[in-house]
Structure 1
Amino acid sequence: MKRITVFTPTFNRAYCLHQVYESLLRQSCQDFIWLVVDDGSTDNTRELVQSWIDERKIEIHYVYQNNLGMHGGYNTAYSMIDTELNVCMDSDDFFTDQAIEKILKHWDEYGNDSYAGLVGLDATLDGKVLGSWFPQDLKSATLEDLYHKYKINGDKKLVYRTAVVKSFPPYPIYPGESFVPLGSLYVQIDKQYELLCLNEILCLVEYMEDGSTRNIFRQYRRHPRGFRYSRVIELQYSGYTIVKIKALIHFIANSLQLKEFNYFGKNKYPILTYLFFPLGLLLYFYIKRKNKLIAKT
């Protein structure tokens, strides 16, 4: 049985999906399964993946579903995976040639059931690490501690034990919305487990800050219930006061957007909700204004 599943949720990305496939062909260790979750694509993704399956160069599993968004793709992947470890590879990114080998070697040396998995580094196409390297003497940490205690920044590559992700509820699916922040699962896992730190570049990404910034405001507008769910989870599970305060302010803004004015009783901090209401109101109008400006460009 293979040790790790690489899963790729994809939607109309046939034009770039070959990058993932080719990087998997180049892996120095082939002890993996590639699971492609086709999230309702209308391009030739199905035919393309089938052609790769027919080549029989690596083990590929393919599943098609109606469009549910990235988090829906994660739900489907987690329900299907039965290898010890799993890692997501976005359809427009790709692995470094020794990524699988490095993951499994590090896990074999240090991993056990007391850890959720491991966390490695992402880099730009020219090999520059996104954000920070890990401290050299840091063996393990929660994802939240990495960002808030150790002041690490930048996207990282997460490899989880399948038994761990299966032990938590799936991401909720809201009718008319197709996005729930993935971190709402990770902050729950952080309450029980740490991640081993692997100070190696595992993934190369095409990183466009401006595009990401513009997109997040559209996401806020289109998926208020998904974002509010994430804020509720952060309020419940985060170990950092600053995270809880930010989550509460966003929770207020999302509730205003939804015109659900009974939100004061829907969290554990009703007094703080009233206290931070002015900031939540300001955020609501700021997001609304940004979306109007973006729409005009």
Structure 2
Amino acid sequence: MKTITVFTPTYNRAYCLHKCYESLVKQPNQDFVWLIIDDGSTDNTEELVASWIKDGKIDIVYHYQENQGMHGGHNAAYRLTETTLNVCIDSDDNMGENAIQKILDAWEHIKDKPEFAGIVGLDADPDGKIIGTTIPESIKETTLYDLYNVHKVLGDKKLVYRTEVVKKYPAYPIFEGERFVPLGYLYQLIDQDYKLLPLNEVLCDVEYMPDGSSLNILKQYRRHPKGFAFSRKSRMKLAKNFKDRFKNAIHYVSSAMFTKNGSFLKESPRKFITFLAIPFGILLNLYIRFKTKGEF
């Protein structure tokens, strides 16, 4: 069995998915399987992937499901993955140069240390520039929360997890009529029990596409308020300081306004902070409505 599953949730991305494929074909170390989660595509994704499977250049597993959104794709990937490690490379991104070998080299340092959930590495843009900042070399272990909130690292980072770890936690919830739950929900749960090994190596080349969620976050926020409210409740509960709890309470109030949930205060895990956040949540909600007017 291979060591790593590289999984890619995709929805109508046949026009760019070949870039990800080519980056995987170029990996000198082929100790991986590419798991493609086709989240209800209506383009020629299935035919394209079938041609790659026929070519036999890399090991590919194709799974089709009705559209559930990015988090639903992650649910399927974690359910189907059988390898020791897993890493997500989005359909508009590329596996970094020699990234599989870099992951395996880092894995040797922690594979016998069960307190580590996995590895956190770097993302870069198509020109090779690091997204955000690198990780301070003095940090030998961290959580994702501490990486951003204590060590003040900036920008998206690439996570490689032990499969046995991610399988311990609940799947992302699926809300009827919505297709998005922030992926950080699972990562924060893992942070409560495990550490990550920092790796100052580029594992993924990221290109933010016009139709991607990263560049459409306010629209996502408004289209999927139940998913965002769920995430904010979890973050409020697990946050380590008042500032973080209050910030998430503001967003929770805003999302509750979009869902017209009159019980939001009763359902909050931090009722007093949520009460204090109401005026700010109203302002945030009005701001998002203004910025997305004409879209709904």
CA distance in structure 1 between the partners assigned to 2:178 and 2:211 by the alignment: 23
**Residue type of the alignment partner of 1:8:** T
Q: CA deviation at 1:212?
A: 6.4
| Aligned equivalent of 2:183 | 182
Partner SS, residue 43 of structure 2: coil
| Aligned equivalent of 1:151 | 152
Cα deviations by residue, 1:143-199 (Å, 9 ceiling, x for unpaired): 010001000000001101101110000000001000000001111111111110000
Contact (CA 8 Å) 2:133, 2:155: kept in 1 or not? Answer: yes
Structure 2: give runs of 5+ residues left out of the alignment.
Answer: none
User: Cα gap change, 1:40/1:153 in structure 2, threshold over 3 Å: closer, same or farther?
Assistant: same
Q: CA deviation at 1:207?
A: 3.6
| Aligned equivalent of 1:103 | 103
Give me the identity figure in percent.
53
Q: CA deviation at 1:208?
A: 6.7
| Aligned equivalent of 1:131 | 132
Bigger shift: residues 72-81 or 206-215: 206-215
Q: CA deviation at 1:238?
A: 2.3
Structure 1: give runs of 5+ residues left out of the alignment.
Answer: none
| Aligned equivalent of 1:270 | 271
**Residue type of the alignment partner of 2:104:** L
Q: CA deviation at 1:239?
A: 2.2
Matches within 5 A, 1:36-51: 36-51=36-51
**Residue type of the alignment partner of 2:165:** V
User: Cα gap change, 1:198/1:14 in structure 2, threshold over 3 Å: closer, same or farther?
Assistant: same
CA distance in structure 2 between the partners assigned to 1:87 and 1:211 by the alignment: 19
CA distance in structure 2 between the partners assigned to 1:276 and 1:238 by the alignment: 15
CA distance in structure 1 between the partners assigned to 2:177 and 2:33 by the alignment: 32
Cα deviations by residue, 1:215-268 (Å, 9 ceiling, x for unpaired): 111111100000000001101222243221111111111111111111111122
Alignment RMSD, CA only? 1.7
| Aligned equivalent of 2:280 | 279
Contact (CA 8 Å) 2:92, 2:208: kept in 1 or not? Answer: no
**Residue type of the alignment partner of 2:22:** E
CA distance in structure 1 between the partners assigned to 2:208 and 2:49 by the alignment: 25
User: Cα gap change, 1:39/1:193 in structure 2, threshold over 3 Å: closer, same or farther?
Assistant: same
Contact (CA 8 Å) 1:187, 1:238: kept in 2 or not? Answer: no
| Aligned equivalent of 2:74 | 74
**Residue type of the alignment partner of 2:234:** I
| Aligned equivalent of 1:88 | 88
Contact (CA 8 Å) 1:3, 1:84: kept in 2 or not? Answer: yes
CA distance in structure 1 between the partners assigned to 2:176 and 2:235 by the alignment: 22
Matches within 5 A, 1:238-249: 238-249=239-250
User: Cα gap change, 1:65/1:192 in structure 2, threshold over 3 Å: closer, same or farther?
Assistant: same
CA distance in structure 2 between the partners assigned to 1:213 and 1:13 by the alignment: 15
**Residue type of the alignment partner of 1:223:** H
Is 1:3 the counterpart of 2:3? The answer is: yes
CA distance in structure 2 between the partners assigned to 1:213 and 1:202 by the alignment: 18
Which ranges of 4 or more aligned residues in structure 1 deviate by more than 3 Å? 207-214
**Residue type of the alignment partner of 1:284:** N
CA distance in structure 2 between the partners assigned to 1:212 and 1:35 by the alignment: 21
CA distance in structure 2 between the partners assigned to 1:133 and 1:284 by the alignment: 34
Cα deviations by residue, 1:33-61 (Å, 9 ceiling, x for unpaired): 10000000011100110111111111100
CA distance in structure 2 between the partners assigned to 1:295 and 1:208 by the alignment: 19
CA distance in structure 2 between the partners assigned to 1:214 and 1:29 by the alignment: 32
Cα deviations by residue, 1:62-82 (Å, 9 ceiling, x for unpaired): 000000000000000100001
CA distance in structure 2 between the partners assigned to 1:209 and 1:179 by the alignment: 17
CA distance in structure 1 between the partners assigned to 2:177 and 2:284 by the alignment: 23
Is 1:289 the counterpart of 2:290? The answer is: yes
